[in-house]
Structure 1
Amino acid sequence: MSGFRLYFSYLSMLFRSQMQYRASFLLLTAGQFFIPFAVFASLYFLFERFGQLQGWSFYEVALIFAVIHLAFSIAECFARGFDMFSSLVVSGDFDRLLVRPRSTIVQVLGSQFEFTRFGRLLQGAIVLAVALINLPIAWNAAKIATLVLMIACGVCIFAGIFVLFATMCFWTVQGLEVANVFTDGGREMAQYPLDIYKRWVTVFFTFVIPFGCVNYLPMLFLLDRADGPAAAYMAMPLAGVLFLVPCVLVWRLGVRHYRSTGS
């Protein structure tokens, strides 16, 4: 519980510090709200031109789009410390975290928050609401729980990628730009149904980085397209948690082998 209190203390302090420059905060938040609409607009014009995408309607794909963008926005807001972790290694500030009697994970999470990502989060929420209003989904407790799991476990996948590539900084010092292939690239890929891609792409993003398990497969259950036990599709998003666990274990291994940069 002390770890949670520490985390929320970091959260409160950084939020108050960012709100000292309210005009800047509001402008950046507005930018995060409007800029991603270009991506959604391209999705809209794609369906305006072709009508459907391999049997998927615009609002069905909009629901997939909203889920993955909500998950990415939450992860980018609250797990940003790992995305920017290389700066702590380069400056030697990570040494200070090691001598404190608290978890390094909590401290790195609390080192950086991107509250301006609330703009992107709001955009995703609006797209989600529009999609749900226009889709004839017969909602029940199971489907509501599945939708919540999809978003929460999507956050776990993005956070896991941040943690994994932050760990690489223990050996490379500088952050690796290849991480963007799996964060930004994964987000762009997962905003469409997986069955439109080649088989190897589908396999990789289902069994290695399980975006398909938190978005595409449970979406089949929500849309009553599932071919098999409903419980299996409902449990699919938990693959995101299973992905995060080894990422955290790799992090702990990296911490044990860390050697200070001497900065």
Structure 2
Amino acid sequence: MRLYYRYLSMQFKSQLQYRTSFWLLTLGQFFIPFSVFAGLYFMFERFGQVQGWNFYEVALCFAVIHLSFSFSECFSRGFDAFSSLVGSGDFDRLLVRPRTTALQVLGSKFEFTRFGRLAQSCLVLALALAHLPIAWTAMKAATLLLMIASGIAVFTGIFMLAATLCFWTIEGLEVANIFTDGGREMAQYPLHIYQKWVVMFFTFVIPFGCVNYLPLLYLLDRAGGHDILYMLSPLAGFLFLLPCILVWQFGVRHYRSTGS
């Protein structure tokens, strides 16, 4: 972790060399997601609710998934931009260093301008929590934090899987965005509004439903007497990360230099 913090410090100082650009990009990242949230607001302004869910309940769902995505995009950007390391041959240098490749790739790139998107998500979270009559307990507070951490694990796992494909394709594949950007857009609403096969896939294959929908039922006292199961469902996000790490290690073992 000491090495990881060194990576963080170096990248942060590097990006602050151009302070005006850094703050303008951060400001842009703050306002861009408002267009998505505005669409959510106007939809509920027109229809009132969506299959029994009101605006602030969905706003909580929106905030959790966007918080998770913002953290992952900021601190896992190295995997998202991994194709450049493979294409340039720079990944070969990482292989000869006495540290795990996953840590080195994780520390190769950070996007601190994503703090703007993070701040916007925090505002939406505060707005939702201020208007929801949630009877807070220590367990519910821990569940909310676990939801965000689990979402980070899921998005990081998807970035890692997409990066692993680069060992064979060299260039990154846009199909991965279906599960990152598309997954974020889909998971910002309660899962049960979608068709059954979508719910099954995004619960048991890519566990976005375990990140926000199922524990959200527990927070809103809709769990129907299965509080413990719904409360612990975010742990599926960390379980999802384990096979992603194994796939990454498989890719590293079968990597052949690009010859650059």
TM-score bin, normalised by smaller chain: over 0.9
1:208 equivalenced with 2:205 (yes/no): yes
| Separation in structure 2 between the aligned mates of residue 142 and residue 46 of structure 1, nearest angstrom | 32
For normalisation by structure 1, the TM-score amounts to 0.98
| Separation in structure 2 between the aligned mates of residue 83 and residue 44 of structure 1, nearest angstrom | 30
Task: Provide the residue aligned with 1:17 in structure 2.
Answer: 14
Q: How does 1:73-152 map to 2 (within 5 A)?
A: 73-152=70-149
| Separation in structure 1 between the aligned mates of residue 251 and residue 199 of structure 2, nearest angstrom | 30
Q: Residues 7-61 of structure 1, C-alpha deviation per residue, up to 9 Å, x if partnerless?
A: 1101000000100100000000000000110000000000000000000000000
Superposition deviation, residue 112 in structure 1: 0.3
| Separation in structure 1 between the aligned mates of residue 233 and residue 35 of structure 2, nearest angstrom | 30
Letter in 1 for 2:10: M
| Separation in structure 1 between the aligned mates of residue 224 and residue 146 of structure 2, nearest angstrom | 20
Letter in 2 for 1:254: G
Superposition deviation, residue 180 in structure 1: 0.4
Q: For structure 1, which runs of at least 5 residues remain unmatched after alignment?
A: none
| Separation in structure 2 between the aligned mates of residue 106 and residue 254 of structure 1, nearest angstrom | 15
Number of equivalenced pairs: 260
Q: How does 1:1-263 map to 2 (within 5 A)?
A: 4-263=1-260
For normalisation by structure 2, the TM-score amounts to 0.99
Of all paired residues, the percent bearing the same amino acid is 75
Q: Residues 128-171 of structure 1, C-alpha deviation per residue, up to 9 Å, x if partnerless?
A: 00000000000000100000000000000000000011001111
3-state SS in 2 of match to 1:112: coil
3-state SS in 2 of match to 1:209: coil
| Separation in structure 2 between the aligned mates of residue 133 and residue 109 of structure 1, nearest angstrom | 35
Structure 1 outlier segments of 4+, above 6 Å: none
Q: For structure 2, which runs of at least 5 residues remain unmatched after alignment?
A: none
Superposition deviation, residue 109 in structure 1: 0.5
Superposition deviation, residue 228 in structure 1: 3.3
